[in-house]
Amino acid sequence: MIEINDLSFSYGRNVVLQGITLNMLPGRIYGLLGENGVGKTTLLTLMCGLKTPQAGTVRVDGADPYRREPDTLADQFYLADEVAASGSKAMDWANTNGVFWPHYSEDNFKALMEEFNVQLDQKMKTMSAGQLKKTHIAFALATGARHIFMDEPTNGLDIPGKTQFRSAIMRFTPEDSTIVISTHQVRDLENLIDPIIILDRQDVLLNASIEDICSKLYFDYGNELHPDALFTEQIPGGFIQVYPNSTGAESKVNIEVLFNAVAQNKSYIKTLFEQK
């Protein structure tokens, strides 16, 4: 379990995170959303111990990740948005680095690389940006780490690669893992991420499961505007809009529309989802 309590962090006078409190449970794939500059990458690096809070605490299974204890490091992996190209062949690079993760599986790395259609004997410095990203994703999942933090993992992937990524996440992660994916590409991950976390500048606007979101908000695909719509977007043949779910009816969440609705109704959304 990841526990974040009253967390604050600044870059000089620029306050990025202030008083952030939230929990992340095992067996979930969290989508971390927010506008540029709200601290998504900073939060990921705090959770994996690359930075230390200036106030408040971060605990991963009860441990302080910034202490960089071997047991903590062995059970987590951070995939940055920009990844490095080694001069080694992919298989050699993976096996050399895999020794730092006790649950690393060479067989899983091979299977993932086959899933991504990337050659094991190709030198990483000769790969395209998409091939290199797939190689790093394959390694991240092959480590067997229970806590995986990914920053914009689908950036640079082509359409088949995004499909392969979703399949790989579902097939090659432990059932008790906690995966946190920071992304702007919500359409790439719409059927994968659950719960949804939406950060604002120095605030958490939403931390809710898809089920909870559906119970409180209704996503309407029709041709008549609703008077209580929190956000409306015109689409071919009508509108997609979201408004309070007063009847308990079921609907399909559109994460992009959800994000826009939250951004335009911050106080209302916070109050709505704080209700018990």
- Segment-wise mean pLDDT, segments of 10 residues, the chain, 276 residues: 95 91 95 92 96 95 95 95 94 97 97 96 96 97 97 93 94 93 89 93 90 96 90 90 94 94 94 77
6 phi-psi bin (left φ>0, alpha ψ -120 to 50, beta other) = left
Range of the domain at 38: 26-54+61-198
| Residue 162 sits in the same domain as residue 44 | yes
pLDDT value at residue 275: 59
| Listed residues 166, 198, 230: the one ending a domain | 198
- Cα–Cα nearest to 229, from 274, 194, 173, 268: 268
> Any bridge partners for residue 180, and if so which?
30, 149
| Residue 127 sits in the same domain as residue 176 | yes
pLDDT value at residue 187: 84
| Residue 143 sits in the same domain as residue 234 | no
Q: Is 153 exposed, middle or buried (0-12, 13-18, 19+ CB in 10 A)?
A: buried
The answer to whether position 17 is within a domain reads no
Q: How far apart (Å, rounded) are the C-alpha atoms in residues 181 and 89?
A: 27
| Runs of H (alpha helix) within the chain | 40-47, 70-73, 90-98, 106-115, 129-142, 159-171, 186-189, 210-216, 255-264, 266-274
| Residue 163 sits in the same domain as residue 186 | yes
Give, for 69, the enclosing helix (H) or strand (E). Answer: none
| Listed residues 176, 198, 220: the one ending a domain | 198
The answer to whether position 214 is within a domain reads yes
Burial 131-147 (b: 16+ CB within 10 A, else e): bbbbbbbbbbbbbbbbb
- Cα–Cα nearest to 77, from 135, 15, 147: 147
The answer to whether position 14 is within a domain reads no
> Taking a C-beta distance cutoff of 8 angstroms, is the pair 81, 152 a contact?
yes
The answer to whether position 172 is within a domain reads yes
The answer to whether position 13 is within a domain reads no
Q: Specify the number of domains making up the chain.
A: 2
pLDDT value at residue 70: 94
Query: How is 155-184 classified by DSSP, letter by letter?
Result: TT--HHHHHHHHHHHHHSS-TT-EEEEE-S
| Residue 39 sits in the same domain as residue 165 | yes
For 50-103, what is each residue's pLDDT tens digit?
999 999 999 999 999 999 999 999 999 999 999 999 999 999 999 999 999 999
| Residue 162 sits in the same domain as residue 263 | no
| Residue 99 sits in the same domain as residue 168 | yes
| Residue 179 sits in the same domain as residue 73 | yes
Helices then strands, counting H and E runs in the chain, come out as 10, 12
| Residue 180 sits in the same domain as residue 251 | no
| Listed residues 149, 167, 198: the one ending a domain | 198
What is the CB-side half-sphere exposure of residue 165 using CA atoms within 13 A?
A: 28
| Residue 194 sits in the same domain as residue 225 | no
Give the number of other Cβ atoms within 10 Å of residue 124's Cβ: 21
Give the number of other Cβ atoms within 10 Å of residue 17's Cβ: 25
pLDDT value at residue 188: 87
| Residue 233 sits in the same domain as residue 165 | no
The answer to whether position 8 is within a domain reads no
| Residue 131 sits in the same domain as residue 238 | no
Give the number of other Cβ atoms within 10 Å of residue 68's Cβ: 11
- Strand pairing category for 238-244 and 217-222: antiparallel
The answer to whether position 21 is within a domain reads no
The token pair at 163 is 């499909």
pLDDT value at residue 151: 97
The answer to whether position 35 is within a domain reads yes
